[in-house]
Structure 1
Amino acid sequence: MKGIEFILLAGGAILGAYIRYKITSFPLILDIIGSNVLIVNIIGSFILGVFSILLIHWNLDQRYSFFVAIGFCGSLTTMSSFALENIVMFENKQILNMMVNVLANVGLSFLALYGGRVLIIQLL
């Protein structure tokens, strides 16, 4: 990894981690377990979907992936928090909540990524 790639990666990761921290530190939205993690996962997936098309359409240098895809989106979205929330729900015998959380995070993240790609294709 070259110096500029490391700087792009670090800059994106710091920004993504900061935004994730701010969003997940708010009180739970609608008092639903895991809703803030769900929000960051959907936002990050949507941004990655948009970026994946713009990278190709605008013929961007692959180094931008270090900032946006790997650094920012990788740091913004959070699989470890998602996994922990689900294990806690499982341990508390909240199986239905856990299943809804898994389906919502995976399904809505997929839809957000796909929606971001479709939207940006339509706008270009």
Structure 2
Amino acid sequence: MKGIEFVFLAIGAVAGAFLRYKMASSPLLFGTLPINILIVNTIGSFILGIFSVLTFAWNLDSKYSLLVAIGFCGSLTTMSSFALETTKMFEDRYIANAGINILANVGLSIGAVIGGRLVMNLILRGGGE
């Protein structure tokens, strides 16, 4: 990675992380649903969708992908890449693959959180000794 590419990546990452932090620390709830996280994920997906089209339409240099797609959207949310890839599968008529992708991403992500919490709770409680 060249120096200027790193700068573009870093600027995007800092901006995305800052926005995510500000949104995640806001007490926005809809019942028990943390709507702030839903908003962040939706915004990130929307921005990545727009950018993915503009990249090809305007023949943008790869450093702008580092800035917007990888840096900003990657720091803002990991849902944006997942949403883009799944949308492409639907558009390409790989409906079964899109469904599997949705189930696998959501299921494995939630499963990993549950698994990590269980393991850490066991470690902190001294379980396994």
Q: Displacement, 1:67?
A: 0.3
1:23-80 per-residue CA deviation (whole Å, 9 max, x = no partner) reads 111113324333222111111010000000001101111110000000000000156x
Alpha-carbon distance between aligned partners in 1 of 2:110 and 2:6, rounded to the nearest angstrom: 28
Q: Secondary structure at the match of 2:62?
A: coil
Residue 47 of structure 1 corresponds to 47
Q: Does 1:74 align with 2:74?
A: yes
Unpaired runs of 5+ residues, structure 2, are 80-108, 119-129
Question: Any residues of structure 2 matched to 1:1-124 within 5 Å, and which?
Answer: 1-78=1-78, 83=110, 87=114
Q: Secondary structure at the match of 2:27?
A: coil
Alpha-carbon distance between aligned partners in 2 of 1:78 and 1:69, rounded to the nearest angstrom: 10
Paired residue type of 1:36: N
Alpha-carbon distance between aligned partners in 1 of 2:60 and 2:23, rounded to the nearest angstrom: 29
Alpha-carbon distance between aligned partners in 2 of 1:43 and 1:83, rounded to the nearest angstrom: 21
Paired residue type of 2:71: G
Residue 100 of structure 1 corresponds to none
Alpha-carbon distance between aligned partners in 2 of 1:38 and 1:44, rounded to the nearest angstrom: 10
TM-score scaled by structure 1? 0.61
Paired residue type of 1:46: F
Alpha-carbon distance between aligned partners in 1 of 2:60 and 2:12, rounded to the nearest angstrom: 16
Work out which structure has the larger RCO, using CA pairs closer than 8 Å and 6 or more positions apart in sequence.
Answer: 1
